[in-house]
Structure 1
Amino acid sequence: MYTHQKKVITQGAPLAETQKALILVHGRGATAESILSLASPLGANDFTLFAPQATNHSWYPYSFMAPATQNQPALDSALETIDAIVKSILEQGLSSQQIYLAGFSQGACLTSEYATRHAQPYGGLFIFTGGLIGQQLDTSNYQGNFAGTPVLITTGDPDPHVPVSRVNETVKIMEEHGAMVSKHIYPGRPHTILQEEINLAKQILSKASVNK
């Protein structure tokens, strides 16, 4: 088992100029560089971008539906990796509402798990084919209030990795913590991100407010 080396690729103008951050979390077998390629289609070129790289190209070794203990210590280390980025952004004077998080597949699962454990008013969350992590969800892990944070969550039906039932559980818990969730299930969609999903996320990102 493994923990993650702290490797984060940043792109774009400094936070002092952009005043808005987008954290992009790659999927299993992928790279920080590959998830950064989403920035342009999302219309996020005027954001400061942060893309952490998972050790061994995987945030945790087994399925996100496996017992959480089987994915340790990698899972806790992955959550700490995201937390360190968020804290660094906040320390540079931005509010949580100027922080957006996006992930695909395993990265979407990690994004939803991190954000729901640290619920606060983010700018927006984009969960492209993912859901909360664990064989059984421990609701005591989830703290705080999203205070109306817009959340986009998507999956295919069926998806080889992410069952619709877990997406529905995730939506319920996030809504209980104050999120405004937009759920989109695509029948027969392959394990990918459709242009429609990009367009939905782009609508949320285009409303990014800059509090200078």
Structure 2
Amino acid sequence: MTADPHTDAGVHTLVSADSPHTVLVLCHGRGATATSLEPLAQAVARPGVSVLAPQAGTIQGVPQWYPNSFLAPLADNEPALSGALAAVERAVEDARALGVGDAQIVLGGFSQGACLAAEYAARHARRWGGVVALSGALIGTAEADDASPRPELAGAGGAYPDKAFEYDGDLAGTSVFLGCAERDPHIPLARLERSATVLTDLGGDVTKRVYPGGTHAVVDDEVQFVRELLDYLAC
């Protein structure tokens, strides 16, 4: 892979509000599409909220943001990962063009898209309207000094070494939600917990919720949290 696969994929408007006071940017998961998030967008949208969703390009015949597990060495997911972060930036620019500031932009997603949204927010730490990672966690900025695979960091492809999480900036009290099943097959609980610590240290007001079982899906409690966050931003 030698080129950014996401350059021409575009950004979809899932919910449109006249003169929105808040914009939710939602990133889809592996094998899905921007429009597949429309039921979620409709479920959480409030009056005055627009919802935008960037579309991933096709990699190995599948729409996805990067080809390997988010736990894999960063080089294994390049250049797709850098292109994916740039695609989120384009969606953020579209949100700003609707007349809202960063403090009224909520970054979110599901699964691979949740990892991407959380990572974008950490790498561009400032006061956002919110960060909502539904079955996702931070990707990391570099490989850790210890390259030994850790059994507690197991996902697609087996167990992986940890990462370094070296971010600049300040989330300045941004509400950050991390939700995941206790035995999610793709998101190890150890990485979720590490992400909560990193994002707290970065100035985020972090809510971490771990749900019993092993379902990799959006649950009603997460939907309710997003609704309440969007209601709060309307005040």
Instruction: Please say whether Structure 1 and Structure 2 have the same fold, judged by a TM-score greater than 0.5.
Output: yes
Letter matched to residue 119 of structure 2? E
Equivalent runs, 1:1-212 vs 2, <5 Å: 1=1, 2-3=3-4, 4-6=6-8, 7-13=10-16, 17-44=19-46, 46-56=48-58, 57-91=63-97, 93-134=99-140, 135-140=161-166, 142-209=167-234
Q: Which runs of 5+ in 1 are unaligned?
A: none
Amino acid corresponding to residue 128 of structure 1 in structure 2: L
Name the CA shift for 1:35/1:66 in 2 (closer, same or farther; >3 Å).
Answer: same
CA distance in 2, matches of 1:45, 1:53: 24
Q: Is the 8 A contact 1:43 1:206 kept in 2?
A: no
Q: Count residues with an aligned counterpart.
A: 208
Cα distance 1:72–1:98, how it changes in 2: closer, same or farther (>3 A)?
Answer: same
Aligned partner of residue 132 in structure 1, secondary structure = coil
Aligned amino acid, residue 208 of structure 1 = L
How has the CA–CA distance of structure 1 residues 40 and 89 changed in structure 2, closer, same or farther, with 3 Å as cutoff?
closer
State whether residues 31 and 53 of structure 1, in contact with CA within 8 Å, keep that contact through their aligned partners in structure 2.
yes
Would the aligned equivalents of 1:24 and 1:36 in 2 still touch at CA under 8 Å?
A: no
TM-score (norm 2): 0.83
User: Alpha-carbon deviation of 1:44?
Assistant: 3.5
| Alpha-carbon distance in structure 2 between the residues aligned to 1:90 and 1:17 | 12
Distance verdict in 2 for CA 1:160–1:24, change over 3 Å: same
SS of residue matched to 1:94:
coil
8 Å contact kept, 2:185–2:214 = no
Matches of 2:218 and 2:169, distance apart in 1:
29
**Cα displacement (A) at 1:91:** 5.0
Structure 1 residues 89 and 162: CA distance shift in structure 2, 3 A: same
Give the superposition deviation at 1:92: 5.0
The answer on whether the counterparts of 2:15 and 2:45 sit within 8 Å (CA) in structure 1 is no
Q: Is the 8 A contact 2:19 2:99 kept in 1?
A: no
2 CA distance for matches of 1:103 and 1:36? 12
The SS at the match of 1:28 is coil
What is the letter of the counterpart of residue 80 of structure 1? Answer: A
* Deviation for aligned residue 1:187: 1.7
The CA distance in 2 between the partners of 1:180 and 1:195, in whole Å, is 21
CA RMSD of the aligned region, Å?
1.7
Task: Provide the rounded CA distance (Å) in 1 between the counterparts of 2:227 and 2:28.
Answer: 18
* Counterparts of 1:38 and 1:78, CA distance in 2: 21
Using the TM superposition, name which of 87-96 and 142-151 deviates more. Answer: 87-96
Task: Please give the per-residue CA displacement for 1:90-131, whole angstroms capped at 9, x wherever unaligned.
Answer: 355421111011100000000110000001111111100111
Q: Which has the larger radius of gyration?
A: 2
